[in-house]
Amino acid sequence: MKNSARLAGCLLCALTLTALAVAPADAAPAHLTVATYNIHAGAGEDGGYDLDRTAGAIRALGADVIGLEEVDVHWGERSDFADEARDLAAKLGMRVFFAPIYDLDPPTAGAPRQQFGVAVLSRFPVVDKENHEITRLSTQTTDPVPALAPGFAEVVVNVRGTFVHFYCTHLDYRPDPAVRARQVEDMLGVLGQDRGPKILVGDFNAEAGAPELGPLWTALRDAAPGGPASYPAAAPVSRIDLVTVSPGVRVLATCTAETLASDHRPVVADVVVR
What pLDDT, in 10s, does the model give residues 191-219? Answer: 999 999 999 999 999 999 999 999 999 99
* Count of Cβ atoms closer than 10 Å to residue 210 Cβ: 16
pLDDT in tens, 64-96: 999 999 999 999 999 999 999 999 999 999 999
* Count of Cβ atoms closer than 10 Å to residue 219 Cβ: 15
Handedness of CA 243, 247, 249, 251 (dihedral sign): positive
Q: Does 189 have pLDDT greater than 80?
A: yes
- CA distance linking residue 89 with residue 65, whole number of Å: 11
- CA distance linking residue 62 with residue 84, whole number of Å: 19
Structure confidence at residue 160 as a pLDDT band (50, 70, 90):
very high
Structure confidence at residue 28 as a pLDDT band (50, 70, 90):
confident
Q: Does 18 have pLDDT greater than 60?
A: no
- CA distance linking residue 62 with residue 11, whole number of Å: 10
Structure confidence at residue 107 as a pLDDT band (50, 70, 90):
confident
